Amino acid sequence: MIHIILYRPEKPANTGNIMRTCSASGATLHIIGPLSFSLDEKDLKRAGLDYIEYLNYHYYDNYVCFLKENPNIDIYYVTRYSNKVYSEFDYSKKDIDYWFMFGRESTGIPHDILRAHPDHLLRIPMKMDARSLNLSNCVAIVLYEALRQQGYNDLSTFEAIKGEDFLRKEEHEK
């Protein structure tokens, strides 16, 4: 299973988008507070649409509570301070849990947490003068790399709602 950890996210729209991505991909979302917004805000729900009701997510009051509830886990930390690219890591084993932590939009993951785990830092390549990417985009990039390495697990690789041959059938109906 893949777990996405948000360390004190600041923007409800990003969090809502991440909720939708986790719901659609089957990933479990862990949100570490405190937050500057409510998980009930309309922006959050608008971004997550109707997917939120299918989301497996957990909220923790703070980082200490998160660690207490999830002892002995192996976390990958997504940060601009890593020299290793996210795609260099092996996430292909389907029988273990992969945990990916993403930091705040303004400040990232606290540096003391990063320094304590130097072998588990990963980065998304960017231009040298870029500070960061959008948080929800970063989650999608790393999450889908792990899913790709696992053969997309039980995710549909064809149009399951309207039918696999929808475009061809639609054309013939005209």
Q: Given this model, what pLDDT does residue 41 score?
A: 57
Task: Specify the higher pLDDT residue, 114 or 41.
Answer: 114
Residues 6 or more apart whose Cβ sits within 8 Å of residue 113? 63, 77, 101
Give the predicted TM-score (pTM) of the model.
0.90
Q: Given this model, what pLDDT does residue 91 score?
A: 96
Q: Given this model, what pLDDT does residue 69 score?
A: 97
Q: In this structure, which amino acid lies at residue 125?
A: P
Of the pLDDT bands very low, low, confident and very high (cuts 50, 70, 90), residue 173 is low
Give the position of tokens 């002995």. Answer: 72
Task: Specify the higher pLDDT residue, 65 or 154.
Answer: 65
- Look up residue 80 and give its two tokens: 């601009």
Task: Specify the higher pLDDT residue, 13 or 22.
Answer: 22
Of the pLDDT bands very low, low, confident and very high (cuts 50, 70, 90), residue 156 is confident
Q: How far is CA 86 from the centre of its chain?
A: 13
Residue 107 burial (C-beta neighbours within 10 Å; 0-12, 13-18, 19+): exposed
Tell me which DSSP letter residue 52 carries.
Answer: G
Return phi, psi of residue 31, to 5°.
-115, 120
Q: Is the pLDDT of residue 102 over 60?
A: yes
Helix (H) or strand (E) holding 3: strand 2-7
User: Distance between CA atoms of 78 and 57, rounded to whole angstroms?
Assistant: 19
Return phi, psi of residue 132, to 5°.
-165, 170
